[in-house]
Structure 1
């Protein structure tokens, strides 16, 4: 990787997302743009076909009276229609307001009301019902467009109805969408993303057209991806990570297979056989845990071969990272294990993956190295909704474990007070919608964004994130503890772990709340004479308590004395998005978990 990347792309970027999209349609009309499931089969569309559909839907929005920068909501899971709706909104000069399908009716109403959304795309009858129940609180919403729900002939119309409206307008004014698109200024509002946040009410992050265009062009300039790549996209498009992948796709021209069903990820990877995928660390932790526990269940010679393979694989990776040559005997051993073990691991992910990109939370270094040993590169990146997602990413030819890579070309980074990571550049938001005081706290007068994350920069300019400043706590002995670092270590040590939350503010020792992965525990129960028993019965059994004790002791052997976990409790349920204990991007809402389990935590200190 070159130490400096040419930033001349900044002067030649498309003026806005709509132009970026239509430029891609013109450049690659017959190339595959998207594929998506229809029943058991997958359908595929070219850039030209997607462009025609987007143009009709954009014209439909213009016919409904959507004006420049007026907000249009999307309440849906990740699917092809989400992409069409988002592009149509921006090509009509509107601004997309994103709503997770798991958001409750009260918060959905708040987001759509606060954003003053004029039209809402609603995935199905369940999403439509949230709007119908609160229609009186949504005076700005003139129309609801549903993907799969039932139209009512008045307030709720179908996607085809919207396209029909657009076709009529295009018959009268063939250039209406292209003219509208060309007139969008780079600093015009493109997206309002309400951060699910781990505290308080969601805040609407205002992101410009130029921010999204920059994100895609900055990744293209780094040479990481090309037209020949194939992405599998399952991430929530309501999250900035999903949105930045769309910008990157338009800049680079690769095809994307779209299916947001999390339970289908592994099956889909086998069918789609992508060359790359973006994911949150929880996906890698689950895959790692599943493969390790399955192998342990096999036992005997197979488990021994598996463990030896990874021992050799990690040795080889270490030598390569240090720039040393691999001795011939080790190279021969590695070649054998690649055929016997690593090729099978890669096959689980489709067999064609060049790399995965991990973001939205910290990935444990041991898990990243484990994937690396199997010949699967995981590139960790970093950014916030407030920076249009991507601000840092590792490169395939200069991947440094434990770092999130160098800052994007055209952006700057510095460390502020208390080593807070601060970012400045084209991806940084305009501010929080209707919240000038919050904006002033987060953005400095000269454009630097306070991230709230503590970090360090190494000699190569790679950023290391050491934790959320607000999450650092001090024990009564005066020692600082960074919970995320300990929590990710436990997930690398214990393949059955789902969540591990460390507490200890003002106390003389640390405690932890633990949840175990329900899927992994089904397998464990079958192997340990507890098949058919409930999750709660299994995790509260003496055998599981003994197993967890062993893993906590192993974790403690890797920690400083003041960080060690003296007491812990396995909760009788896993954390979920539905319970409000996880954000839709799978981050733990620590304060919610703490409130819900205050009695349990206090008992650990009794």
Structure 2
């Protein structure tokens, strides 16, 4: 069993003393350098910044914001905020300017740490215009603000704080503003105890030791990365490697050689497609062979991906096609589907090794009670449940049942082994012109295919629903060749037929629209955690729906 500890800060102080010279963070820089930080160095810099924060005379428990892509100093800033007795408020680097201003004003942030940003892989060029003029700024290394106070100068001129604030488990540690698919971001308050309980449970599930390695590349401002990477780093004394940029992802992954790895279906699919494009059919057949040659090939493929040392691999947010899941199983990776939310700090349901069922996200974790309400909504009561929504007791009350269960907004069902299947969102039902209700998510999940990256089933007010389809990267690369394009159209038409064969008549999709513009975080079609923003997508495309339906084609290629 994992060591019990009151907070992640207490645990950090343990590792700072117990393995002071051990490398904890490895960060590749844009100039090609790779910088290592030991536990002692992290503690020294965090303590110096905490002392500077104390010198500012801020009210106790002030909210201090962090904006930047993942970096070693993002975590150091978080530690400094906690050591000085304050609350951290992270912002997504891809957030809109309006949302950034809302969060900074709503949280009454007293100071903003500005970290790694370049205006290319993030939304810094717009965010910078929305920063309140009176808000003090401190620039972390790799920040685009040379005119602001600099982390290096402040820490160099400040004596380390010897007696950092040691919080109680019940104290608020952070406010996580949900990315949301609609509406204004909500501030989810989490205590130090919640974060510690997650890390202890995660340690038990994964068997973490200081020898483990993780790669940090999903947004640290999101509960998934904050829990999986930061909480496990501080709790278990392991080592974290950072990804510098999309272009360096493979190299950064190969450097890290993680022992536990989490990703979204999109990346697992891209890995699969990339390897398949390089391996001839004979080699593909050899992958599953019980022979020395098959074993060697499997290890070579895993090494090519940077995953030869992975002992636990997680996936989440949407199902993967069965053939891709089987392909990874041949390699020796059993992908474990997981389910969690910002409000429970990602501690809800995990698939267990050897008990994975495709399309299901596993059983309730220790300390989690779950049930299905009369309307099909999943309700959970967890040991990591949020303190509430910041400044919104009414919303907090409406999110909880009278007996303390959180209303997730997701619809679901359990199988005979108590494994949970997500069947959609409670509020995503829409009505066709025939007066029939359609739940889009279960239909969207049936479109899992290597040539499909994302889909959105829509059609409110139309005779039949239809599906907007964003091709995978591999498919987009083939669209310029007429013969390959025709083959893809045939593939998507066949997929449409397969999906429709599983649906009720009122759910049957009239056609597929293959969208021209990729859906990304930057253009607003995806949330920072790569979920579709249904309302934004529908606003963009529904005006064309009648024209697309008129010809009666099963597959429509968007041309403008």
TM-score (norm 1): 0.82
Q: 1:400 to 1:248 in 2, by over 3 A?
A: farther
Aligned partners of 1:128 and 1:146 also within 8 Å: no
Change in CA separation of 1:455 and 1:529 when aligned onto 2, cut-off 3 Å: closer
Which position in structure 1 is the counterpart of 2:105? Answer: 113
Match of 1:574 in 2: 518
Q: What CA deviation, in whole Å up to 9, does each residue of 1:254-301 have, x standing for no partner?
A: 211112533432232223222122222221122233334x15xx7xxx
Q: Find the counterpart in structure 2 of residue 23 from structure 1.
A: 14
Deviates more, 1:27-36 or 1:90-99: 27-36
Query: Could you list the runs of 5+ residues in structure 2 that have no partner in the other structure?
Result: 551-560
Q: Tell me, in whole angstroms, the C-alpha distance in 1 between the residues paired with 2:95 and 2:149.
A: 22
1:122 aligns with 2:114: yes
- Contact 2:49–2:80 (CA<8 Å) still a contact in 1? yes
**How far is 1:568 from its partner?**
1.8
Distance 2:144 2:247 in 1: 26
Structure 1 unaligned blocks of 5 or more: 1-5, 314-332, 531-537
More deviation, 566-575/470-479: 470-479
Secondary structure, counterpart of 1:380 in structure 2:
strand
Alpha-carbon shift at residue 473 of structure 1 (Å)? 4.4
8 Å CA contact 2:138–2:151 kept in 1: the answer is no
Provide, for residues 562-602 of structure 1, a one-character-per-residue CA deviation record: whole Å limited to 9, x for no partner.
Answer: 54432121112111111111111111001110011112233
The structure 2 residue matched to 1:264, chosen from 241, 248, 258, is 248
Alignment of 1:381-530 (within 5 A): 381-473=338-430, 481-492=438-449, 495-505=450-460, 507-518=462-473, 520-522=475-477, 524=478, 528=481
Looking at structure 2, the residues matched to 161 and 464 of structure 1 have their Cα atoms a distance apart, in angstroms, of: 52
Question: In the comparison of the two structures, how many residue pairs are matched?
Answer: 543
Structure 2 CA distance for aligned equivalents of residues 502 and 150 of structure 1: 40
Shift of 1:190: 0.9
1:148 matched to 2:148: no
Greater fraction helix:
1
Matches of 1:206 and 1:441, distance apart in 2: 16
In 2, Cα distance between equivalents of 1:132 and 1:378: 39
Structure 1 contact 500–512 (Cα < 8 Å) conserved: yes
Note if 1:164 corresponds to 2:159. no
Distance 1:504 1:266, change over 3 A: same
Distance change (3 Å), C-alpha of 1:433 and 1:214: same
* Correspondence for 1:324: none
**2:356–2:362: 8 Å Cα contact kept in structure 1?**
yes
Cα distance between partner residues in 2 of 1:449 and 1:365: 32
CA distance in 2: counterparts of 1:560 and 1:374, whole angstroms:
37
1:228 and 2:185 are equivalent in the alignment: no
Q: Provide, for residues 65-91 of structure 1, a one-character-per-residue CA deviation record: whole Å limited to 9, x for no partner.
A: 344321111110111111111122122
2:535 aligned to 591, 594, 597, which one?
A: 591
Say if 1:132 and 1:596 are closer, same or farther in 2 by CA, change over 3 A.
closer
Kept in 2, the 8 Å contact 1:360–1:383? The answer is no
**1:263-342 equivalences in 2 (<5 Å):** 263-292=247-276, 294=277, 302-303=280-281, 305-306=283-284, 308-309=285-286, 313=288, 333-335=289-291, 338-339=294-295, 341-342=297-298
Distance 2:362 2:74 in 1: 30
CA–CA separation in structure 2 for the residues paired with 1:264 and 1:485: 35
User: Is the 2:259–2:311 Cα contact (8 Å) retained in structure 1?
Assistant: yes
**C-alpha distance in 1 between matches for 2:427 and 2:297:** 42
1:38-49 paired onto structure 2 within 5 Å? 38=29, 39-49=31-41
Report the RMSD for the aligned CA atoms in angstroms.
Answer: 2.9
Checking the alignment, whether the CA contact within 8 Å between 2:379 and 2:407 is kept in structure 1 is yes
Deviation at 1:446, TM superposition (A): 3.5
In structure 2, the CA distance between the partners of 1:346 and 1:34, relative to structure 1 (3 Å rule), is same
